Structure 1
Amino acid sequence: MTAALRRSDCGEVHGDAGSRAAYSADASNYRRIPLAVVLPRERQQVLNTLAVCRRLGAPVTSRGAGTSTSGQAVGSGVVIDFSRWFNRLLALDPAARTATVQPGIVLDDLQRAAARHGLIFGADPSTHSRCTLGGMIGNNACGSHSVAWGRTAENVVELEVVTYRGTVLRLGEMTRAEIDEAVAAGGDRGELIAALHRLAEGNLATLRTELGRFPRQVSGYALEQLLPERRFNLARALVGSEGTLALILSATVRLVAPPPARALVVLGYQDACAAADAVPGLLEHRLLALEGLDQALTDIVTRPETRQAIDTLPRARAWLFAELGGTEEELPARAAELASAARRTAGFTSSEVVTDPARARQLWRIREDGAGLATRLPGGAEAWPGWEDAAVPPAQLGSYLRQFTELLQQHGLQGAVYGHFGEGCLHVRVNFDFSTGHGTAVFRAFVTDAAKLVAAHGGSLSGEHGDGQARSELLSLMYGPDVIALFMQFKAAWDPDNGLNPGMIVDPLPVDGNLRVSPHRTPLPLTTVFPFHADDGDFAKATRRCVGVGRCRTATPGSGGVMCPSYRVTGDEKDSTRGRARLLYEMTQGEVITDGWRSAEVRDALDLCLSCKGCSTDCPVGVDMATYKSEFLHHHYRRRLRPASHYTMGWLPLLSRAAAHAPRLVNAVTASRLAPAVKRLGGIAAEREVPRFADRTFLSWFRTRSAQGDGRRGPVVLWADSFNNHFTPEVLRAGVEVLEHAGYTVQVPDGTQCCGLTWITTGQLGVARRIARRTVAALAPLTRDGVPVVGLEPSCTAALRSDLTELLDGDAEARALADSTRTLAELLVHHTPGWQPPRIAARAISQTHCHQHATSGFGADSTLLAGMGVTNSVLDSGCCGLAGNFGFERGHYDVSVAAGEEVLLPAVRAADPDTVVLADGFSCRTQIAQQTERSGTHLAQLIARALPAARS
């Protein structure tokens, strides 16, 4: 298959085990291993792919971002991924308010282009930062603002599609005259239109009474769009068909003008059912959105930034987020009127009108992250999709939710509810147990009963996510035999060979087949070094923590947080956190990837992971790929020769101690004609400059000086990290000056201590554990007495806080060290009462180290800088790209620099000469120094320069 696709110019073709594993799942419960993956770059390659598949009898599955929760983006044949290359904006007409796009374009990319003309695309699912228009069309996605702007179907003007048999059609509204003309012209197009027109004309009553009964009736095919009063709109009839009828080549969509201002009204209720009861009355207030979430969802959140936003919500057990649009002048009165109306509804507790855009974004993020947050219940149990998309008419929502809650209890299940309350569409993830036969049987029984419950309330099994394998088998519980027969006729007219996404909607696959977790598969017995307590010590369970929501696939920093720098550079699924997690999970199953820890496919997928730890915080379910990578590398290279960089970069702290005896000689060699050979032997990128060792280490300086200041606040340990100690001792010296000015007596542990970070990131966990034990023992006498430990290098501070407790699982002294560790800003802001920072009238831009982002955040730093009078702008830049050893390793230079060039490096170059470039991380400062003409400044240096002693 792969060879035939390559011979026929189908684009980028992959048939290796790693690629097949990466595309084996979407965001659903299902897992199917494809024969091959094709990434077309142009229209003709899509046609060529279909021709090969037709000739060889292989089914085809279309895929966008792979965020589908129902299993329609995975298949056992050829998967066509439109997102990587077939993703251009073809045209945008502001006057007509339309845009023409290729199916792989990400919604946010379209939104940015439209925003330049004051327009937006109305449908906005929570996955807007990575979902594609093709996927939205496939599922008839809706999002939060469908109350105002409708589903994707209402926003599609025209589609250009190709059938499995290769017929290319342009679809839209058709008059009777146009239908007659097309039928008379004959050919494949004429025959198809004739068949569809006959289907509609012969079943007008059924189409009018059974389909399109309320806005969120998405399940099945949209045959109501064939009605004459709907102008026989074949484009809209194709929306929601889940890739079973034709492949999209281009789409022309409608754009709308958003209101000039918005206000968010947060309404608290006693429970989710009371909130549901209030919906019909609130809809009378011309809302843009009406979203709901239950306390069961917010209880799951542990991420500090999101937790802080949740803690400021009005006191309640459930909330409605009601958004109003209009002019700034009219919104306060309308918001007050809405809050007043809510107060008259049963179960109302409190309200808040949010006009600050930053706070509104924080609150909306809680809702947007729901699909990921809800995958772990408060007790730690896994929760799964499978019944997260049902919709009922809003007037029935309260009744449905009460009976649905009872149904969960009857089956011994739990779930956190959230969703589009304004249109009666609920999302809930349920703690199904797919690891046992009994648990799988409970799943099947529950979804069957739930389907009957939805049908009894006049609802739809799917409200925006499509049927897929999750619900297609259940459609006969929602629709009568006559409607099911019409669906089958519709599919047969478009795809008589059943070559496009078979098993979806008609002739369905069983709802409990192809499950990602199955009692019929026994994972490999893999013993780990890290304990993985949050996943019961089960590495397979840790890797399947990734449920596929794809937040790691964002194209720009900020929208996805720090993660995933390498994916943003390459756009390759295997370089996303999700892709890597998929391969690791398949490694644990031993079916596609068969050689366990020795897998070359997994090694290659992890190669471009920067170990930035951004995913540990930014991933809604806390996938920590840096830890997974360290674990894998430890086993992969155990008792084997490692890459040269593992010996040079991994053992850098030890090598640096040797270099400290003759730093000038070492610097001369690394800057001489021998440098290329030295780099080559050390596995270092030829393009990288080797940092210069300082003439004198910080430790050498510190142990020959006398303490300054009065020391009235008592002792503090300054962690002398290897990077600053050997390369930039001036940073640690500045730290001493600041701490002494603040009234501390600075201590440094005897000997030379190390957090073991470089050994951890290179997977040398045995060495790292020995070093960790030595470090913990050296600091234990101090941390037992409550002496704080201050780190100036964020990566080392993060290691002391998190990695050492994991390596030394259960060690009370390691936990004490973690609890005692502070950043400089944290110590000065939160633990040094009465200290006033020096004033400095300066402007600054700051780069938050990715490990600091993942562990402590930048809040204390911002408070300290504001107290100093510094006007600071925190760059939304993600990782600097150097990331410790990553950017120095051979083969990583281009990705490293490209990651830095996304935001950080251009921002540094564009900054005014008198703007301070703040960067606490040694890697960040090194990247800045090597790629720009500027240098980075540590926060300690900025403060020290402003101290009275420094000015005298």
Structure 2
Amino acid sequence: MTATVQGPERLDAAAVTEALAQGDCGEVQGDAGRRAQYSADASNYRRIPLAVVFPSERRHVLNALAVCRRLGVPITSRGGGTSTSGQAVGSGVVLDFSRYFNRLLVMDPVACTATVQPGIVLDELQRAAGEHGLLFGADPSTHSRCTLGGMIGNNACGSHSVAWGRTAENVLELEVVTYRGTVLCLGEMTQSEIEEAVAAGGERGRLIASLHRLAERNLATLRTELGRFPRQVSGYALEHLLPERRFNLARALVGSEGTLAVILSATVRLVTPPPARALVVLGYQDACAAADAVPALLKHQLLALEGLDQALTDIVTRAETRQTVDTLPRAQAWLFAEFGGQEDELPQLAEEFTATAGRTAGFTGHEVVTDPVRARQLWRIREDGAGLATRTPDGAEAWPGWEDAAVPPGQLGSYLRQFTELLSRHELRGPVYGHFGEGCLHVRIDFDFTTEHGTAVFRAFLTEAAELVAAHGGSLSGEHGDGQARSELLPLMYGPEVIALFEQFKGVWDPDNGLNPGMIVEPLPLDSNLRVSPHRTPLPLTTVLPFHADDGDFAKATRRCVGVGKCRSTTPRGDVMCPSYRVTLDEKDSTRGRARLLYEMTQGEVITDGWRSAEVRDALDLCLSCKGCSVDCPVEVDMATYKSEFLHHHYRRRLRPASHYSMGWLPLLSRLAARMPRLVNGLTASRLAPVVKRLGGIAAERDVPRFAERTFLTWFRTRPPEGDGHRGPVMLWVDSFNNHFTPEVLKAGVAVLEHAGYRVQVPDGTQCCGLTWITTGQLGMARRIARRTATALSPATREGMPVVGLEPSCTAALRTDLPELLDGDPDARALARSTRTLAELLLHHTTGWQPPRIDAGSISQTHCHQHATSGFSADSALLEAMGVDNSVLNSGCCGLAGNFGFERGHYDVSVAAGEQVLLPAVRAADPDTVVLADGFSCRTQIAQQTERSSTHLAQLIARALRTQR
């Protein structure tokens, strides 16, 4: 017997979790924290699941279905959780395939196919295929974290579908299991194969017979209403049941959003990419003019034709990307066209293409991009569109909902003009971008979900937008699926007979409605289950930090995460975020997972104890406070700041972990140790070291750094200055790490600055940026220290004296953390404006100084805080000016990250993060290659995990100056 699927209000989460745990379903979790993490995807919707299952074997999936079927619990299949329409959240059991059920099963380069489990990330498949000169054609912008199962569920497309088609065109076979437990292998079927299957009987035969009858009885409707243009993704793809399409059940399931069957494996087609590519950027007077040009441009054979308007580029804030945007052809909108072919063919193709573009109305200019770095930066803006567009240029929130509607390309200009008028009529705004070459537009709109009126506008707008796209012969969804956002609107696009066919199709596959109910057929209302709702009042949480970018609202800050999941990428590609996720591959250790949990904490429903939440504390435990997310996340979620705020409140008037005292108070303890460094060093290296570490909350595997025999400050204050100081004074920031552990770094800084003509000064007394108190959430003490520092340095900073920091984490704290801690304090703002890195000072503020020539090769590790605040471009330029052949490692965070890697319980994750790129690169480097690392943490990690030592930039320059005297 099969139980009737019950509503979630009749089910008990603990009982469901227990049944799944006893049913051999893989890893099962139903605690409040895990349920909160999976309460949302990248859409506007929020639904709290009963439990989350992480299958790692085929039997786990089958067993989970059996348990849920017995209990009458609905199932939602989930991959990367990047769906923008709400189909990856559910109130029953969520099956997360991405963590374990993610293997490449077969790669056949001869047949150009691959067989994969549904949880494999697209980039992982692309890497494997790339070894054979192949790739998977569909490539959505979320390629670094979306899974093949999710792509199949939504019929994902991407920028190159003009050339290589949607996911549907690249799927050959699927192995699936229905809610009732029937396993089927699906693909093309001839008439004789259909007859043979029906004759064999059983559940498989019944299902195929029913689907074949459905197709035979509705041939005219299938031929005229479905599959009319490539981006008609809304509804079910029943056109693949037609005999001329060989009754392809695999392709008919693509785009069904997990409502028909659960995927066990997929065999996909791979393509051979062209040997060379070229990017041509076209400028237009507005997005509508760009849209009008598309039909003429499509006469050329393109790999991609993408569009974006100035409203999107206006949101870009990162310096190097901003510079790239500012050098685009003068325009209000742009088209990015990509060609492929032999390298010697590309100039002619580009010339012919730009000639066509020059004859289109509204054309303002073009650029052929040959620099691969610049091309990547431009494509990054397009890829980050879903995240960037969630903030308007003035910082207001924007949301999906009408996220990916598509029309035939010939209708794009007309549709976009009327769509713009519709936005204006409802007093809404949203930057437009997307796959112009296939008539598919993406837009995030500044809906106001915090009021009843705003929610009513949301419903009214979507209804009118659906009518508009239908009038243009288009599709409500062009690649992201209908989900909860648009399923209710399908009757505005399709007639009653098509809707009835969809219902029959669903009924054949899933008569119990146990798979992702509420999507496509029998839809949930588009304005229910909203993540932000006027009917929910957040907890009144007062914060220490101002959160100005989010109007001082901590709940708004945490919902800044829109779920695009860029933090779930598994390989560093010039970014830092998120080091712990790359090690554990656990949603709770991603920036998104932590943001979800913090947001649920502000709502007080699943996470009920506010700042005292143990679930939030545990999820933040593996956050390295690296600040990578503050710049790598498209919406600049700053988890390091959120963590500091949370820890401050969580431990207020409570006993803290031992490491908060030993390492949070390290600057003060170091001053005490400096009075007897030999005794302290002897103790930490003796047989009592394990006891010392245990008392201090320090990992037993870590060596405690040795204190210097003599601090830098002691040395500096007893030495006569050198050089003529003709450039005037400069304030050298004396950070606690280099002062007490590696004073030679600061000494080298003095030598370099004096050689450059500066008169070096140091702050009076012993000042501190307060970083260690900030990262451990001791914000009251951090604020007192910050105020003391800002006041002490104010005479210098008010006169415009530059403050040069050699420790990147402290430099970043002076620039960003102190102004936040001392909100509105003019001395803190002056100190932030005055703070420079050594490379910035020498490169941009020291005219006439010639750096020494250094004929050497080097690899460099960018400190994660420097990556987040100032970047490495000044260092790279200075090294180039010195003749150093430097390679910047795409290694992300070193893994030590200040106190994180020293804390008990963090050692394995810390080392594993370093082992992803940094540590192997250091070990593999030639003995003559200089290993550059300005961060004390980075140098410590390298020293403790390899047989190499690393060098600060100041030391490299000072060493060269000494040899050239």
Normalising by structure 2, report the TM-score: 0.98
Runs of at least 4 residues off by over 6 Å: none
**Pick from 840, 843, 862: which aligns with 1:829?**
843
Deviation for aligned residue 1:305: 2.4
- 1:341 is aligned to 2:356: yes
Residue in 1 that maps onto 2:878: 864
Q: C-alpha offsets along residues 174-217 of structure 1, whole Å, 9 cap, x if unaligned?
A: 00000000000000000000000000000000000000000000
Aligned twin of 2:34 = 19
Match of residue 649 from structure 2: 635
* Aligned mates of 2:834, 2:500 — CA distance in 1: 68
Is residue 2:17 matched to residue 1:2? yes
Counterpart of 1:187? 202
Query: 2 CA distance for matches of 1:732 and 1:725?
Result: 7
Code of the residue aligned with 2:949 in structure 1: it is: S
Structure 1 residue 951: Cα displacement: 5.0
Match of 2:146 in 1: 131
The aligned counterpart of 2:779 is: 765
3-state SS in 2 of match to 1:165: coil
Match of 2:222 in 1: 207
- Tell me the alpha carbon deviations over residues 638-657 of structure 1, each in whole angstroms, 9 at most, x when there is no partner: 00000000000000000000
Q: Which residue of 2 aligns with 1:279?
A: 294
Structure 1 counterpart of 2:258: 243
Identity of aligned residues (%): 85
1:258-314: per-residue Cα shift (whole Å, max 9, x none)?
Answer: 000000000000000000000000001000000000000000111122212211211
Structure 2 distance, partners of 1:380, 1:106, is 32
Q: Which amino acid aligns with 2:435?
A: H
Q: In the alignment, does 2:95 pair up with 1:71? A: no
CA distance in 1, matches of 2:933, 2:905: 25
* Alignment partner, residue 493 of structure 1: 508
Match of 1:515 among 522, 530, 535: 530
Q: 2:493: which partner in 1?
A: 478
Match for residue 715 of structure 2? 701
- Give the one of 311, 317, 331 matched to 1:296: 311
Secondary structure, counterpart of 2:887 in structure 1 = strand
- Look up the SS of the partner of 1:245 in the other structure: coil
Give the equivalent residue in structure 1 for 2:284.
269
CA distance in 2, matches of 1:396, 1:470: 23
Total equivalences in the alignment? 950
**Residue in 1 that maps onto 2:664:** 650
| 1:886 matched residue in structure 2 | 900
The residue type paired with residue 922 of structure 2 is: V
Tell me if structure 2 keeps the 8 A contact 1:383–1:432: yes
Letter in 2 for 1:84: R
1:474 CA displacement? 0.2
Distance 2:394 2:474 in 1: 32
Q: Which residue number corresponds to residue 548 of structure 2?
A: 533
The equivalent of 1:54 in structure 2 is 69
The match for 1:557 is 572
For residues 38 and 222 of structure 1, the distance between their equivalents in structure 2, rounded to whole angstroms, comes to 29
Match of 1:547?
562
Partners of 2:746 and 2:813 in 1: CA distance:
18
- Secondary structure at the residue paired with 1:267? strand
Q: How does 1:490-889 map to 2 (within 5 A)?
A: 490-558=505-573, 561-889=575-903
Q: Determine the structure 1 residue equivalent to 2:161.
A: 146
- Measure the CA separation in 2 of the matches of 1:329 and 1:843: 34
CA distance in 1 between counterparts of 2:520 and 2:593 reads: 27
Letter in 2 for 1:26: D
Give the match's secondary structure for 1:284: coil
- Paired with 2:318 and 2:72, the residues of 1 have a C-alpha distance of 48
Cα distance in 2 for residues equivalent to 1:345 and 1:285 = 14
Contact 1:691 1:727 in 2 (8 A): yes
Task: Report what 1:409 is aligned to.
Answer: 424
| One-letter amino acid of the counterpart of residue 402, structure 1 | R
Give the secondary structure class of the aligned counterpart of 1:353. strand
What residue in structure 2 maps to residue 257 of structure 1? 272
Which residue number corresponds to residue 400 of structure 1?
415
Q: Deviation per CA, 1:29-66, whole angstroms, max 9, x where unpaired?
A: 00000000000001000000000000000000000000
1:388 is displaced (CA, Å) by 1.1
In structure 2, C-alpha distance between the alignment counterparts of 1:710 and 1:305, rounded to whole Å: 36
Partners in 1 of 2:314 and 2:883 — Cα distance? Answer: 37
> Which ranges of structure 1 fall in alignment gaps of 5 or more residues?
none
Look up the match of 2:7. none
**Kept in 2: contact 1:26–1:73 (CA 8 A):** yes
- 1:361 maps to what in 2? 376
Q: In structure 1, the residue corresponding to 2:431 is in which secondary structure?
A: strand
- The DSSP-based 3-state class of the residue aligned with 2:625 is coil
- What corresponds to 2:8 in structure 1? none
Shift of 1:950: 5.0
Which amino acid letter does the alignment assign opposite residue 207 of structure 1?
L
Which of the residues 217, 221, 227 maps onto 2:232?
217
Separation in 2 of the partners of 1:523 and 1:567?
28
Q: SS in structure 2 opposite 1:715?
A: strand
Give the aligned partner of residue 4 of structure 2. Answer: none
- What SS does the corresponding residue of 1:372 show, helix, strand or coil? helix
Q: Deviations over 1:240-272 (max 9, x none)?
A: 000000000000000000000000000000000
Q: Which amino acid is 1:860 matched to?
A: A
SS in 2 for 1:51: helix
Give the 3-state SS of the residue equivalent to 2:442 in structure 1. Answer: strand
Aligned to 1:459: 474
Letter paired with 2:369: V
State the one-letter code of the partner of 1:642. Answer: R
CA RMSD, 1 decimal: 0.5
CA shift digits 1:895-949 (9 cap, x unpaired) = 00000000000000000111000000000000000000001100000000011x4
Q: Structure 1, residues 94-149: CA drift from partner, whole Å, max 9, x if none?
A: 11000000000000000000001000000000000000000000000000000000
Per the normalisation by structure 1, the TM-score is 1.00
Displacement, 1:356? 2.1
| Alignment correspondent of 2:5 | none
In structure 1, how many angstroms separate the alpha carbons of the residues matched to 2:615 and 2:448? 30
Is residue 262–residue 355 contact of structure 1 (8 Å, CA) maintained in 2? no
- Distance between the aligned counterparts of 2:184 and 2:319, measured in 1? 51
Aligned equivalents of 2:927, 2:340: Cα separation in 1: 42
